[in-house]
């Protein structure tokens, strides 16, 4: 499995290997004639430059890392990951970079999975040039540790006020306000939000702040119960609200999956959505269109956000200035459930 090298191309074309290199890298001063000859030799020999050699020589790497922090890889079907990753890879490829994906989990099964140290090690070994950290539970301390590693990093969907990293997020506060206002407009007065808590620096904080502010402004009852982003937790939360007798007239879920779980629970409790209780989500995943009833939710432009994250990371790798952080606007999508 011996492969064609620069030198062989040079011999074939009757030039020095340096000239071939110059052709490949589009150096100016090369006679068109020579250039054509070299190109045809490359074609004839089916030559492909060895990236390893190039990377070694240039001390740079054309791989980006998309790291999902705190996402359980066994939690297979979260569409969020799909959305973010697809756009991430597409944008990176369009810029000539390939993408390696890492799952960074902690917890019982940590031993078989990469910790932050694994990420660092791969970076130090030149497996990738920079990373976008997608996730909800990276602490400011952890971020500080990583900053000391000089790892080019962009934070996705979370950030820490005290830190300087570029971050890409969306206006979750305002999104939740839109949602609350919609419920209020529909005549709802007792709202309950299902949301993971204690998730510092993450997207859940913005949702909570927006919820509380909008409810206070509207003068409606506001309560928060806990979920963990999963269908199951939405189902359980809804059940508990009815069994315990709180029974609000609107249930807002922090994401679409919990909302779907809550709607299923409502069905099992013989409740009519939206007549007996309104339910809303947050994400606007594809399936929100196909639930019964279809889900009123907030549209998050995950694809645009992921593409922007890649661009920011590339800018960070390129220049020396810190790329701008961005907050994407969100919009309300009214369907049947609220």
Partner DNA sequence: ATGAAAGCGCTAACAA
Partner DNA sequence: TTGTTAGCGCTTTCAT
303 binds, among DNA, its own copies, none (CB under 5 to 8 A by kind): its own copies
Task: Give the residue with the Cβ less far from its own copies, 315 or 317.
Answer: 317
Smallest distance from its own copies to CB 309, Å: 15
x/- mask, its own copies, residues 154-193, rule CB under 8 A, reads ----------------------------------------
Give backbone dihedrals phi and psi of 226, rounded to 5 degrees, phi first.
Answer: -95, 145
Residues 50-109 that bind its own copies (CB under 8 A): 50-53, 55-56, 61, 63, 73-74, 76-79, 81-83, 85-87, 89-90, 93-94, 98-103
Rounded CA-CA distance 158/138 in Å is: 8
| Shortest CB 21 distance to its own copies, Å | 15
State the residue for tokens 């030198």.
Answer: 7
Alpha-carbon torsion (282, 284, 290, 295), positive or negative: positive
What is residue 334's three-state secondary structure?
coil
Interface residue list for DNA (CB under 7 A): 2-3, 5-7, 14-19, 21-22, 24-25, 27-31, 33-35, 49-50, 53-54, 56-59
Would you report the helix, strand and coil content of the chain in percent, each value rounded to 5? 45, 20, 35
- What is d(CA 126, CA 96) in angstroms, rounded to the nearest whole number? 17
263 belongs to the binding site for its own copies (CB under 8 A)? yes
3-state DSSP of 159-204: CCCCCCCEEEEECHHHHHHHHHHHHHHCCCCEEEEEECCCCCCEHH
Stretch that binds its own copies, among 111-119, 164-172, 213-221, 314-322 (CB under 8 A): 111-119
For 120, the 3-state DSSP assignment is helix
Task: Tell me the torsion sign for CA atoms 162, 166, 172, 178.
Answer: positive
Residue 328 interacts with which of DNA, its own copies, none, CB < 5 to 8 Å by class = none
Q: Which is nearer to its own copies, 87 or 316 (CB)?
A: 87
φ, ψ of residue 13 to 5 degrees: the values are -90, -10
| Residues within the interface to its own copies (CB under 8 A) | 1, 3, 46, 48-53, 55-56, 61, 63, 73-74, 76-79, 81-83, 85-87, 89-90, 93-94, 98-103, 112-114, 118, 121-122, 124-127, 150, 231, 235, 260-261, 263-264, 267, 285-287, 289-292, 294, 302-303
């Amino acid at each position: 499995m011996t492969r064609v090298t620069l030198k062989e191309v040079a011999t074939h074309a009757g030039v020095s290997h340096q000239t071939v290199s110059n052709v490949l890298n589009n150096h100016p001063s090369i006679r068109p004639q020579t250039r054509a000859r070299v190109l045809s030799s490359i074609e004839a020999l089916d030559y492909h430059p060895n990236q390893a050699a190039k990377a070694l020589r240039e001390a740079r790497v054309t791989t980006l890392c998309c790291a999902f922090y705190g996402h359980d890889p066994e939690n297979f079907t979260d569409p969020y990951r799909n959305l973010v990753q697809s756009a991430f890879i597409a944008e990176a490829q369009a810029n000539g970079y390939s993408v390696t994906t890492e799952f960074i989990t902690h917890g019982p099964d940590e031993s078989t999975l990469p910790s932050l140290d694994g990420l660092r090690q791969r970076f130090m070994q030149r497996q990738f040039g920079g990373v976008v950290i997608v996730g909800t539970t990276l602490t400011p301390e952890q971020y500080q540790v990583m900053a000391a590693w000089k790892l080019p990093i962009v934070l996705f969907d979370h950030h820490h006020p005290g830190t300087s990293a570029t971050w890409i997020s969306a206006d979750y506060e305002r999104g939740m306000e839109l949602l609350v206002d919609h419920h209020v407009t529909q005549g709802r007065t007792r709202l309950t939000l299902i949301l993971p808590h204690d998730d510092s620096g993450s997207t859940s904080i913005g949702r909570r702040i927006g919820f509380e502010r909008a409810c206070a402004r509207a003068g409606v009852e506001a309560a928060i119960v806990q979920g963990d982003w999963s269908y199951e937790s939405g189902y359980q939360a809804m059940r508990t609200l009815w069994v315990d007798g709180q029974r609000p007239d609107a249930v807002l879920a922090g994401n679409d999956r919990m909302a779907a779980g809550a709607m299923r629970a409502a069905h099992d409790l013989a409740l009519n959505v939206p007549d007996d209780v309104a339910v809303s989500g947050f994400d606007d995943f594809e399936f929100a269109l196909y639930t019964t009833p279809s889900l009123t939710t907030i549209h998050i432009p995950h694809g645009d956000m992921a593409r922007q994250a890649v661009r920011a990371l590339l800018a960070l790798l390129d220049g020396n200035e810190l790329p701008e952080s961005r907050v994407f606007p969100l919009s309300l999508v009214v369907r049947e459930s609220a």
